[in-house]
Amino acid sequence: MAAHGPHAIVFANEKGGTGKSTTAVHVAVGLAMQGARVACIDLDSRQRTLYRYLENRSDTARRRDIDLATPRFEAFEGSSEAELQAQIDRMGEGADFLLFDTPGRDDVPARYVATRSDTLVTPINDSFVDFDLIGKVDPESFEVTKISFYAELIWEARTRRARTDGLSIDWVVLRNRLHNLEARNQQRVGSALDALAKRVGFRVIPGLSERVIYRELFPSGLTLLDKGQLGQLGTSHIAARQELRQLIAALHLKLPVPA
């Protein structure tokens, strides 16, 4: 999005229910905890999940009188690309990372930031229902038959970006809500993703498992990384925290060097 500005991270999926906002919040807080200056813009004017999550986090910090690493955050309330770009310029000032959460539907502002991102993260549930966003498979062999309109859009944006400024969008498909069951389905989805990744050029990384604690943390705005505020954690929660750390590392984001 900017040669010398903040690194733009866009969480985008035109289907809802993929854990997109939860993942976005945890990545934003995780980067802030590592000393990065992070700003967030919530483009979902209806749900505002990322905005409300971080708002809850700020309220908890005030209520408990504690210091919680919290990114700067705003919601986009405009209607034009010019208004969005003005907000991007303002929020990006002095930031190392500018993170966007987009709505689970086709949306003009979401396309605007997705095609101008540095890192594009597309969380999907591990099923062919969600795979359909990026590609089609044969119903008998489960082999990839074509790429979707959304995948074509991102592929064209990456090609155009490489031609104009020599940069490229690092497109990451995040396999969220993996289960230990349904191993055959996971293998089929995994094989289809690997095949499509070679054609379109995205990376596939493991995401977050389905865990109740992610929903329970929303009212307080806390994350699994807030060790001192969560009390006694069970084994599954410790595993989830490690899962989250591995996810953030797999995004290959370059953190600022401490002064």
pLDDT of residue 209: 81
- The closest of 69, 68, 75 to 91, measured between CA atoms, is 75
pLDDT of residue 23: 93
Domain presence at residue 259: no
Predicted structure pTM score:
0.92
Domain range spanning residue 62?
A: 7-250
- The closest of 11, 22, 78 to 54, measured between CA atoms, is 22
Domain presence at residue 186: yes
Domain presence at residue 47: yes
Residue type, 219: P
pLDDT of residue 53: 97
Question: 38-42 and 72-75: which strand pairing?
Answer: parallel
Domain presence at residue 201: yes
Domain presence at residue 223: yes
pLDDT of residue 207: 86
Number of structural domains (the chain) is 1
Domain presence at residue 33: yes
Report how far residue 185's alpha carbon sits from residue 180's, in angstroms, rounded to the nearest whole number. Answer: 11
Radius of gyration of the chain (CA): 18
Question: For position 21, which CATH number holds?
Answer: 3.40.50.300
Report how far residue 112's alpha carbon sits from residue 163's, in angstroms, rounded to the nearest whole number. Answer: 18
Q: From first to last of its 259 residues, what are the pLDDT tens digits of the chain?
A: 655 789 999 999 888 788 899 999 999 999 999 999 999 999 998 999 999 999 999 999 999 999 999 999 999 999 999 999 999 999 999 999 999 999 988 889 999 999 899 999 999 988 888 899 899 999 999 999 999 988 988 888 888 888 878 888 999 999 986 665 457 778 888 899 999 999 888 999 988 887 778 888 999 999 989 988 887 767 777 888 888 999 999 999 999 876 5
pLDDT of residue 154: 87
